[in-house]
Structure 1
Amino acid sequence: MKITRLNEPLYTNGEPPKVGDKLPDFTVVRADGSKATKADLLSKPTLISVVPDLNTSVCSISTKRFNNEVDKFAGINFYTISTNTLDDQKNWCAAEGVKNMEILSDESHNFGEEMGLYLESGVDSRSVWIISADGEVLYQELVYEMTDEPDYDAALTFLSNLK
């Protein structure tokens, strides 16, 4: 898939799943260092925000925005997945006061590669996913310009309508 960063073309390693597809199997790492699979994360409807690097402004803004919405959605899992190391993620969460949303590491690139979101630059492409408890993609936003924020209102409205 083609995206851009400041209008320079970048390409992901494949095509991401579409609405109606099942999410592929993947493994990410939790803050405590334990591995989590797709099955571990999808106990109920789930919002996954994928950000390239928490230490950049758009990724930071995006993660903080979704973190502030978690308490409004009982019965929904909220995760951010980034390619940052666990130490980077812990330091960022401490500095930014992010406690509501679970931050998961894709430092190994397994998630990005399986999802078709991995970029040669070593990060995953920005996107937002809402997944059913049985792994079906219900909502997908692929952000085609890496410096753009996702459409928070569209994702949150979709979640509100799931209730």
Structure 2
Amino acid sequence: MANITFQGNPLHTSGELPTVGSKAPDFKLVNSKLEDITLASYPGKKKVLNIVPSLDTPTCAASTRKFNEKAASLDNTVVLIVSADLPFAQCRFCEVEGLTDVTALSTFRSTFANDYGVTLTDTILAGLTARAIVIIDENDTVIYTQLVAELADEPDYESALAAL
């Protein structure tokens, strides 16, 4: 269990992020067509997992826009925005924002948040995900992680992108 805060108040997660150097846990997430997407859906690609509580919040929207902007210049890399939002809402958000270089995936029908240790376990936010970045290389090895200490803060984009 990790300890983070939201507006200075303590929150806890269901576990810890995968360890750098470990094999990334497989996942099953849902895309905008209600199809199951797994780690194997991106063979030979680097994967940036931008894990956010909900795209319907200012910080989550900002990080999604920022990664969309940066993703266009990344070689052999997919940027996956992972949230608890339903696939329909994710699709609508990306269309309205004109985001074409990231893929939004939902934890709907998934154990992803528990498998990656990011489920918030207490307060009124229980069940959403913590804000985190996990970068996985072409061989599905975790090469970078960041659990954002304050849920309302954006991740460290420069360190994440430098890991690629």
Verify same fold: TM over 0.5.
yes
Instruction: Rate the CA distance shift 1:130–1:42 in 2: closer, same or farther, 3 A.
Output: farther
**Correspondence for 2:134:** 129
Q: Is the 8 A contact 1:22 1:135 kept in 2?
A: yes
Residue of structure 2 aligned with 1:153, choices 141, 155, 158: 158
What is the distance in 2 between the residues matched to 1:155 and 1:80?
Answer: 14
Q: What is the aligned residue count?
A: 159
Q: Which has the higher helix share?
A: 1
The answer to whether structure 1 residue 142 and structure 2 residue 142 are counterparts is: no
Instruction: Rate the CA distance shift 1:97–1:126 in 2: closer, same or farther, 3 A.
Output: same
Shift of 1:37: 1.4
Which consecutive aligned stretches of 4+ in structure 1 deviate over 4 angstroms post-superposition?
Answer: none
**Correspondence for 1:28:** 29
Give unpaired runs (5+ residues) of structure 2.
Answer: none
Q: Is the 8 A contact 1:83 1:109 kept in 2?
A: no
**Correspondence for 1:46:** 47
Instruction: Rate the CA distance shift 1:88–1:41 in 2: closer, same or farther, 3 A.
Output: same
**Correspondence for 1:95:** 96
- TM-score scaled to structure 1, two decimals? 0.92
SS of residue paired to 1:69: helix
* Farther off after superposition, 91-100 or 64-73: 91-100
What is the distance in 2 between the residues matched to 1:42 and 1:81?
Answer: 18
What is the distance in 2 between the residues matched to 1:45 and 1:27?
Answer: 17
Shift of 1:109: 4.6
After TM superposition, list the pairs within 5 Å mapping 1:62-77 onto structure 2: 62-77=63-78
* Farther off after superposition, 35-44 or 19-28: 35-44
Q: Is the 8 A contact 2:16 2:116 kept in 1?
A: yes
Shift of 1:152: 0.8
Shift of 1:72: 0.7
**Correspondence for 1:9:** 10
After TM superposition, list the pairs within 5 Å mapping 1:99-118 onto structure 2: 99-118=100-119
For residues 67-90 of structure 1, the C-alpha deviation after alignment (integer angstroms, 9 at most, x for no partner) is: 011111121111111110011111
Give unpaired runs (5+ residues) of structure 1.
Answer: none
Question: What amino acid maps onto 2:161 in structure 1?
Answer: L
